[in-house]
Amino acid sequence: MNTLMRWAITHRGLESYFSSLMGSYVTVFTLHRAEPEDKSFNGISESLLERCLRYAVENGYDFMSVDEVVDTALQRKKVNRPTLCFTLDDGYADQVNRLVPVLLRYRAKPTIFAITDFIDGVDWPWDAKLAYVIKHSPLTQCDLKLGMKTHHLDLSTPRARIESRRFVTSHVKAQRLGNLSDYVATIAAACHVEIPHAAPEDYRAATWDELRASEAQGLAIGSHTRSHAVLSSLDDERVAAELDHSKRRLNEELVRPSQVFCYPSGTKKDFSRSHEKLVKAANYQGAVSTISQTSYLRAIRQNPYRVTRIGFPTKFEQFVRYSSWFEALRSKLPI
Ligand SMILES: [Zn+2]
């Protein structure tokens, strides 16, 4: 980022002029896993997260929990200062034990969206299983027959494995109606990997005790379904069951769960208007997607079941830009 650009996007006067013109907005970030020791995927390091939070505090940002963001929008209130909101998806142990403590230290009001069957030890997420299979395959190449088509998977380098993981994840996600575990099993067999019944240490879920201890220190915990199945791959009855069961488990285990739901995967293709209605019918106050835009309070008031979020970046300069009025402007442009 050049100096002029950095000056403009961090300029408080420009920011307040922009928000007086365009209305209040909040940058809601999505954080996935903490950076793994073997760097086998792009996780977030504690040092980067800390640097970003220090920048936010030093530059006068406010922090809001996602429930506060939805409430503020529904009550037609404004935000007086540029505001950030931090959410984490899935409920892995490394998120709760490594990233959440940093967020809590800065009083950043984080919310984690947990897959309740994962926390309950019933099963581990299908996308984590695929990541495990691709990481541990002894093969360098693999021909994978899915349906009528044969796909060639390159497993010869770490980079190629990342690409292959992306391919199988998006392919499986696109399958309709509940045969997800069959697809995962087919891919595991083709890659010569046996999937362990319980999640291995690298993919361990947080426990309810760990979540409760963090809840006592200010972490909010919300539903990310029971199984992590993408809603568009399920029939309505199964969607309603995922919404109800996960909500019940959170209410049984925690003091005050978040009233906001988080769509698995969460892109425009992964849920529909009718899913938004099912989320509302299950008594959630709002829902977050992974549609990558700054969230305007006016838009949340109009539809609290499609709150947009921006993926937390792996570079500090990107964090500065994503948190700025410039990104809020970009979110208004038809690109
Ligand atoms: Zn997820």
CA of 264 to the centre of ligand 1 (A): 5
Please provide the average confidence, as pLDDT, over all residues in the chain.
93
Low-confidence residues of the chain: pLDDT under 70: 1, 176-178, 334-335
pLDDT value, residue 178? 57
CA of 142 to the centre of ligand 1 (A): 27
| Cα–Cα separations (whole angstroms), residue 303 to 37, 73, 220, 309, 330 | 40, 10, 22, 14, 20
CA 277, 282, 287, 289 torsion-angle sign: negative
Contacts of 316 (CB under 8 A, 6+ apart): 48, 51, 52, 55
Strand residues in 137-232 grouped as ranges (E): 141-146, 149-154, 220-223
**CA nearest neighbour of 50 among 109, 104, 113, 112:** 104
CA of 89 to the centre of ligand 1 (A): 5
CA of 88 to the centre of ligand 1 (A): 9
- Give 311's strand partners: 30
Please tell me the distance from the alpha carbon of residue 296 to that of residue 18, in angstroms, as a whole number: 12
CA of 195 to the centre of ligand 1 (A): 20
State pLDDT tens for residues 122-144: 999 999 999 999 999 999 999 98
Say if CB 133 and CB 164 are below 8 A apart.
no
CA of 60 to the centre of ligand 1 (A): 31
pTM of the model: 0.93
State pLDDT tens for residues 234-256: 899 999 999 999 999 999 999 99
CA of 4 to the centre of ligand 1 (A): 37
CA of 134 to the centre of ligand 1 (A): 18
CA of 69 to the centre of ligand 1 (A): 20
pLDDT value, residue 71? 98
Please tell me the distance from the alpha carbon of residue 233 to that of residue 54, in angstroms, as a whole number: 41
Say if CB 60 and CB 12 are below 8 A apart.
yes
Distance from chain centroid for Cα 119? 16
CA of 114 to the centre of ligand 1 (A): 8
Residue for token pair 């969460």: 266
Residue type, 205: A
